[in-house]
Amino acid sequence: MATSDLAATYHDLEVSTSLGNATVHYAEAGNKSEPTLVLLHGFPSSSTQYRDFIPLMADKYHILAPDLPGFGLTKVPSNFQYTFDNITTVISAWLMALGVTSYAPYLFDYGAPVGFRLALENPAAVKAIITQNGNAYDAGFGQDFWKPIFDLWNTSNSQEVREVLRENILTQATTNYQYYQGVPEQDRALVDPEQPVRDYLQNLAGEANQEHQLDLFYDYRTNPEMYPKWHEYMRHSQVPLLAVWGKGDPAFIPAGAEAYKKDLPRAQVHLLEAGHFALETKRWEIAELCRKFLAQVQF
């Protein structure tokens, strides 16, 4: 495959949902006749977090990487309620519009609750799961990182706590922290310093963006409530799963990776010397692990 064939192209697809019409921005690469990988990004990024990973996989797989509602260039109605259920509704409609009926999701951070909702909605479509710092267990929460968000849940979305989060988490400094914390000193220069700046300016700056993100912080409480259903899905389906984790991640700690073995005894777990955005510094190792895993499960 020519090098140009490995590069992503960028598209906008309008989809109709019960919530109104949305326009999903996404990156695409590879041959459509190959198995499809759906890369679901996390907070506070967009599909651009996969910019350097896509060419490492596109020779073998058809790659789709959407911007979730509230991030990147995806557009939703002005009255859109920012919840993980609603985000999933949009992404489900996008997959349907593209005719994707069989795929393996790559779940990262916020991509995990979206991906598991999609799996519950249509388990037959999900042939394998790759989770990279994508949590599905209470044990995976980094307590210090999550305490301010737990406070939001425990105070029923109080305005006072929202302001604390706005001032302390929805900032350029905290975005930088998410990219660099837990990264070994010798690897810090591999992190693209422009990426956290792009994430902040595009997804966190401005009152409207911040209100959307605060709504999602509060709605994240619905994800642990769904964990038993996700665990039941995994136990019942025994879906092949690879958990590859930046073990220096302050948000989702290695115990969350190991926990997958409770419901999927054959799950493969790899802990890497990396932070939350592990692809910034370990994308080559992660691509190799993904390719080996997907070959083993004949995807």
Which CATH number is 93's domain given? 3.40.50.1820
Exposed / middle / buried, residue 61 (Cβ in 10 Å: 0-12, 13-18, 19+): buried
The tens digit of pLDDT for each residue in 266-286 reads 999 999 999 999 999 999 999
Active-site pick, 41, 62, 231, 276: 276
Q: Is residue 177 part of a domain?
A: no
For the chain, give the mean pLDDT.
98
And the tokens for 152? 């939001």
The tens digit of pLDDT for each residue in 115-159 reads 999 999 999 999 999 999 999 999 999 999 999 999 999 999 999
* Number of domains present in the structure of the chain: 1
Active-site residue flag, 212? no
Cis status, amide bond into 196, omega within 30 of 0: no
Q: Is residue 58 part of a domain?
A: yes
Q: Is residue 86 part of a domain?
A: yes
CB 148 within 8 A of CB 169: yes
The tens digit of pLDDT for each residue in 65-96 reads 999 999 999 999 999 999 999 999 999 999 99
The tens digit of pLDDT for each residue in 177-206 reads 999 999 999 999 999 999 999 999 999 999
And the tokens for 287? 């691509």
Q: Is the pLDDT of residue 2 over 80?
A: no
And the tokens for 114? 């979206």
Structural domain boundaries, residue 95: 3-142+224-296
Strand 129-131 to 241-246 pairing = parallel
Band of pLDDT at residue 1, cut at 50, 70 and 90: low
Q: Is residue 191 part of a domain?
A: no
